[in-house]
Structure formats: C-alpha cells, structure tokens
C-alpha cells in the first residue's frame, strides 16, 4: 500500500500510496537536475520551493512555483530541476 522510492542516489525520494483510490506520491527533490521517463501520465503539484520542468515534447524548461502544476505525459522523457530543496505531490493517471 505504501512504498518508499529512492532515485538518483537518494537525491529524489517519494512516499507512494497505491491502494483502492487514485495512486499518488509525495516527494522531495534535492538541489540538482534529474531525468525520468513517464510510464503513465504524472501530474505534479509543487508544494514548496520551485521545480523546473523539461519534457521531450517541448524541449524547453519552465519554472513552476508553489501551488502550480505540470504534467509529464505517458511515454515521454522529462527532467526536473531544483535550485533549492523543493517538494511536490504527484497524481498518477
């Protein structure tokens, strides 16, 4: 039901809930740039700090601040970048 996930030498960590409701995770990004691939649609909401988002769909960076959302689409590569420790909640479709 709950899973702790660690990525990029523990510089990105999340606690994921995958039960009878829509799955989601809450996570923390250390300072740095991190690459991922979306297996399903993933909608991120920044909960503290700022997160820059890049996707192979647009090939441009965009900064998202606390309360703002962005989506990594299924089948696409994307990157997250933080200039300060930042947090998010991610909803999976």
pLDDT in tens, 34-56: 999 999 999 999 999 999 999 99
CA gap 16, 72 in Å, rounded? 17
Q: Which two tokens stand for residue 11?
A: 């510089």
Confidence label for 22 from pLDDT (cuts 50, 70 and 90): confident
Q: Where are the domains of the chain?
A: 2-92
Mean pLDDT of 60-72: 98
Indicate the helix (H) or strand (E) that contains 86. Answer: strand 86-92
Mean pLDDT of the chain: 96
> CA-to-CA distance for 47 and 19, rounded, in angstroms?
22
Class of domain 2-92: mainly beta
Q: Rounded to two decimals, what is the model's pTM?
A: 0.93
């Amino acid at each position: 039901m709950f899973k702790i996930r660690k990525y990029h030498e523990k510089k990105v960590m999340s606690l994921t809930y995958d039960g009878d409701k829509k799955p989601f995770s809450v996570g923390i990004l250390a300072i740095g740039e991190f690459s991922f691939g979306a297996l399903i649609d993933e909608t991120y909401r920044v909960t503290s700090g700022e997160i820059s988002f890049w996707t192979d769909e647009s090939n441009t960076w965009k900064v998202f601040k606390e309360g703002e959302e962005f989506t990594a689409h299924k089948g696409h590569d994307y990157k997250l970048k933080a200039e300060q420790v930042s947090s998010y909640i991610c909803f999976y479709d």
